[in-house]
């Protein structure tokens, strides 16, 4: 069901699957008796693994439409990768509680951005200089890998704030998602220490059973979401999703602080 939900939302609203998969797995693993700290670590790593095949499919589609900015990727890729390696290594070392807090904050801010900034004009006339873009790439890679999300959740809002074309931001974000997910997932698979209370079929920090269930359905259901987008009011649905995401982010923060 997580794969179905993530796939439909990805096609319908253009949101990354990770922003859906991480919280669902976080609460689902706890229902299996996994501690909240371990559940967040495994949800983060498993989400990154699921993004690898789905981002490849998305890149091919966006590239055919000319919406992948190869020049931007050439400049950003190495800095995104550095951020990813640092962030994913950090995941293997930190308490899952801090990742829960970080995801809760990012989810809440993303929801508020969708609710109040959607359709608004850019804050800046263009992208910053090389130093600023370097920082943006490293920032996106570091924080996306730490909470198990692809590039879209952070890169699309940041690019559009800088007057970058929205369609190219979405297409380029798909490629950023692969740069984030592949090395991030491998790092957590090879360097992550499997928690003692991890669910069955967990290797490193990745739950392969979850991966095997989610990926086929995400890939199958994304086109369904895209077809629904042509028939339904996507703007209204995006607002509903933003409210659900806001509640989810606040719920995760409440679990830590209350």
pLDDT digits (tens, 9 = 90+) for 153-182: 888 888 888 888 877 888 888 889 899 999
Residue 77: the pLDDT is: 94
254 beta partners = none
pLDDT at position 208 over 80: yes
Contact between 49 and 181 under an 8 Å Cβ cutoff? The reply is yes
The C-alpha atoms of residue 188 and residue 204 are separated, in whole angstroms, by 6
Helices 36-64, 96-116: inter-axial angle, 10-degree rounding: 40
The candidate with the shortest Cα–Cα distance to 190, out of 88, 56, 97, is 88
pLDDT at position 16 over 80: no
Neighbours of 172 (CB within 10 A): 27
Residue 62: the pLDDT is: 77
pLDDT at position 74 over 80: yes
The C-alpha atoms of residue 38 and residue 140 are separated, in whole angstroms, by 24
Contact between 36 and 124 under an 8 Å Cβ cutoff? The reply is no
Q: What percent of the chain has pLDDT over 90?
A: 43
Residue 140: the pLDDT is: 93
Q: What is the DSSP letter of 17?
A: T
The C-alpha atoms of residue 34 and residue 197 are separated, in whole angstroms, by 6
State both tokens at 214.
Answer: 């989610």
| Averaged confidence pLDDT in the chain | 86
pLDDT at position 229 over 80: no
Most confident of 117-121, 228-232, 251-255: 251-255
Q: What is the DSSP string of 86-154?
A: HHHHHHTTS-HHHHHHHHHHHHHHHHHHHHHTTTPPPSSSS---HHHHHHHHHHHHHHHHHHT--SHHH
pLDDT digits (tens, 9 = 90+) for 80-126: 999 999 999 999 888 888 999 999 999 898 888 878 876 666 778 88
User: What values do phi and psi take at 198, rounded to 5?
Assistant: -65, 150
Q: Which residue has the higher pLDDT, 13 or 5?
A: 5
State both tokens at 36.
Answer: 């909240």
The candidate with the shortest Cα–Cα distance to 229, out of 1, 12, 5, is 12
pLDDT at position 198 over 90: yes
pTM of this prediction? 0.87
CA-CA distances (angstroms) from residue 139 to 65, 76, 85, 95? 27, 11, 12, 21
65 burial via Cβ count (<10 Å: 0-12, 13-18, 19+)? exposed
The C-alpha atoms of residue 92 and residue 98 are separated, in whole angstroms, by 12
The C-alpha atoms of residue 195 and residue 235 are separated, in whole angstroms, by 41
Q: What is the DSSP string of 187-210?
A: HHHHHPPPPTTPPTTEETTEEHHH
């Amino acid at each position: 069901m997580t794969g179905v939900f993530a796939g439909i939302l990805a096609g319908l609203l253009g949101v990354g699957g990770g922003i859906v998969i991480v919280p669902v797995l976080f609460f689902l693993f706890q229902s299996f008796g996994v501690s909240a700290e371990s559940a967040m670590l495994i949800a983060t790593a498993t989400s990154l693994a699921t993004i690898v095949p789905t981002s490849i499919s998305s890149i091919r589609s966006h590239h055919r439409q000319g919406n992948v900015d190869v020049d931007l990727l050439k400049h950003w890729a190495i800095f995104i990768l550095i951020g990813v390696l640092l962030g994913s290594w950090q995941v293997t070392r930190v308490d899952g509680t801090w990742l829960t807090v970080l995801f809760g904050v990012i989810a809440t801010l993303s929801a508020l951005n969708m609710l109040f900034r959607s359709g608004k004009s850019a804050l800046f006339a263009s992208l910053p200089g090389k130093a600023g873009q370097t920082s943006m790439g490293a920032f996106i890679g570091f924080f996306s890998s730490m909470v198990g999300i692809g590039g879209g959740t952070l890169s699309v809002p940041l690019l559009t704030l800088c007057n970058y074309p929205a369609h190219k931001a979405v297409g380029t974000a798909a490629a950023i998602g692969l740069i984030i997910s592949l090395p991030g997932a491998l790092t957590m698979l090879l360097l992550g220490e499997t928690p003692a209370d991890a669910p069955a079929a967990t290797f490193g920090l990745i739950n392969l059973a979850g991966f095997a269930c989610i990926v086929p359905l995400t890939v199958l259901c994304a086109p369904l979401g895209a077809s629904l987008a042509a028939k339904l009011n996507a703007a209204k649905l995006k607002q509903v999703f933003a409210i659900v995401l806001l509640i989810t982010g606040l719920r995760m923060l409440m679990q830590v602080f209350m």
